Structure 1
Amino acid sequence: MSTTAIYRTRITHLRREPVRHHFEHRGYSWYIDVDQPPRLPLPLRPFARFRAADHLRPPAAGPDTLRRRVDCFLAGHGIDLRGGQVTALLQARVLGFVFNPLSVFWCHDRSGQLRAVIAEVHNTYGQRHAYLLPADGHTPVPKQMYVSPFNGTDGYYLVSAPQPEESLNIRITLHRADHPAFIATMQGHRHPATPARVAWLQLVAPMAPLWVAWGIRVQGVLLWLRRVPIQERP
């Protein structure tokens, strides 16, 4: 089975304090091998471009590819995959625009063993931060980046991100004082990344990354109208 696939997703956000606020939206994400990103027929290429510059930090020297960015990030944490496979769930650029609230990389060594998971978070201020998650998925990860004006940088994440197969099921919980203050989920089903599927998605979910970015801003306005306190940006 080809690695490349598209997951038609349902994303939910649940805020539990200081007010209860829930919203969800539909979208889609690409699942790719970072060494073999998909190359679509020429007419569809503007609707699915993958750029190394959209993720992680560039290497200090040498060629700049997404694979090298992953390897350099892992090397900074003492991990060497020795050429093992890295797969990623992410958004592609659509007509030049991209917004990746969450990108996930599953990193295997040459024997096929999962060594680490990278969860990269982007905010609407143009910032991004990559978290190294343990392969077991049960270790708390301290929050490091200001994502929302209604959440500071206190607390820690618990992330469940099993590698997707026919189904996708990711869950992220932000804990404060040992109880979940915010819960986000991403669920979906796998579809072949055929040209017909890509073309159809441009009809049912046109400019999907842009709508995701605007949707987050709209929810921020709604929280502001509900007088949720603004947390000072570091």
Structure 2
Amino acid sequence: MIPLPASLCDCVVGHTRHGPKAHSLRYSILSVLVDIEAETARGRRGWLWAVDRPALISLWSHDYGSGRVKLRDWVEQQLSAAGMVQPIGRIELLTVPRIFGLKFNPLSVFFAFDTRERFVGVIFEVSNFHSGRQAYAFAVDPNAGPDYRFKCAKDFFVSPFNPANRGEYHFRLRRDATSLRLCIQLEREGEKILSAVQTARLTPFSQSALRQALISHPFNTIKIVGGILIEAARLAIKGLPVFAPRRGTVDTRPRSV
């Protein structure tokens, strides 16, 4: 994997619940892939796209990480704790941007490259409806790939139909210059519970591409939130047991640890 220029990502997301009740959904979303520092340094401050300033499509640094330190510092802290030892050069972020100021981002991915532009670390930051955020960070062997696999214990409330801290996540990631594929699978006691797959076609940033994205995905955030709520109602009708978030934990706090 190599660093890429700022890109718009036309994504398709599919979820499949394997048990105890089978269920699936599929929807399209708009994401962006950007260098977290280059976008700010370039001073992109137009009415169509901006970083840390209002625009029709925007990114805000406080929507990610701890909210208490700069994003670079937070990424370095997370990856250092995960065992990464290389100095970090470029950091890229794959995320759902705010459109018309609205946000809800179920998953953001930080890609860290060393000073030789080798892929050396990744962070999967998960968000829930309670404004909680949880980071799962992994050091990456620079000689690995092109398929990358990671696994860790689940320790965060995401769905009311899954316990907060039971099970194991399995991540599989592949990215090239024009496409991306990310698979996340939840397993519990050796049984596959839930699978989520995100595929994306990458297009370099341009004013025309941004305008087209705004036309194609004007209700991006509303569609994501509405789709999740509708599917949750359908699962409740199917009789799945419901689990409440753990009060006072990261599940209900607005900042990622």
Q: Aligned letter for 2:75?
A: V
**How many angstroms does 1:196 deviate by?**
1.4
Q: Out of 105, 112, 133, which is 2:110 matched to?
A: 105
Unaligned runs of 5+ in 1: none
Query: Are 2:201 and 1:189 aligned?
Result: yes
Q: Distance in 2 between matches of 1:169 and 1:28?
A: 14
User: Would you tell me which structure has more strand in proportion to its own residues?
Assistant: 2
**1:57 counterpart (62, 66, 69):** 66
Residue deviations 1:80-129 (CA, integer Å, cap 9, x gap): 54241111111111122211111111112212232221000001121110
Query: Which residue number in structure 1 is paired with residue 255 of structure 2?
Result: none
Task: State the distance in 1 between where 2:139 and 2:85 align.
Answer: 14
Shift of 1:134: 4.2
Distance 1:191 1:139 in 2: 27
Paired position in structure 1 for 2:38: 36
Displacement after TM superposition at 1:52 (Å): 1.4
- Structure 1 residues 67-76 or 45-54, which shifts more? 67-76
Contact persistence 1:107–1:115 (CA under 8 A):
yes
Tell me the amino acid that sits aligned with residue 151 of structure 2. Answer: P
The aligned counterpart of 2:166 is: 154
Please tell me the residue identity of whatever aligns with 1:127. Answer: G
What is the match of residue 222 of structure 2? 210
Structure 1 residue 78: Cα displacement: 4.8
After superposition, the Cα gap between the structure-2 partners of 1:139 and 1:205, relative to the gap in structure 1 and judged at 3 Å, is: closer
Distance of 2:4 and 2:241 partners within structure 1: 47
CA contact (8 A) 1:99 1:209 kept: yes
Structure-2 residue corresponding to 1:179: 191
Structure 1 position 22 matched with structure 2 position 57: no
Say if 1:76 and 1:133 are closer, same or farther in 2 by CA, change over 3 A.
closer
Do the aligned partners of 2:91 and 2:112 also contact (CA within 8 Å) in 1?
yes
User: How far apart in 2 are the matches of 1:210 and 1:68?
Assistant: 31
What is the TM-score when the length of structure 2 is the normalising length?
0.82
1:106, 1:117 within 8 Å by CA — same for their partners in 2? yes
For the pair 1:69 / 2:81, whether they are aligned, the reply is no
SS, match of residue 112 in structure 1: coil
Q: 1:122 to 1:17 in 2, by over 3 A?
A: same
Where does the alignment leave 5 or more consecutive residues of structure 2 unmatched?
A: 50-54, 247-257
Q: Percent identity?
A: 23
Distance 1:98 1:202, change over 3 A: same
What is the Cα-based RMSD across aligned positions, in Å? 2.0
The DSSP-based 3-state class of the residue aligned with 2:149 is coil
The structural deviation recorded for 1:228 is 1.0
Deviation (angstroms), 1:210: 2.6
What is aligned with 2:132?
A: 127
Q: Counterpart of 2:236?
A: 224
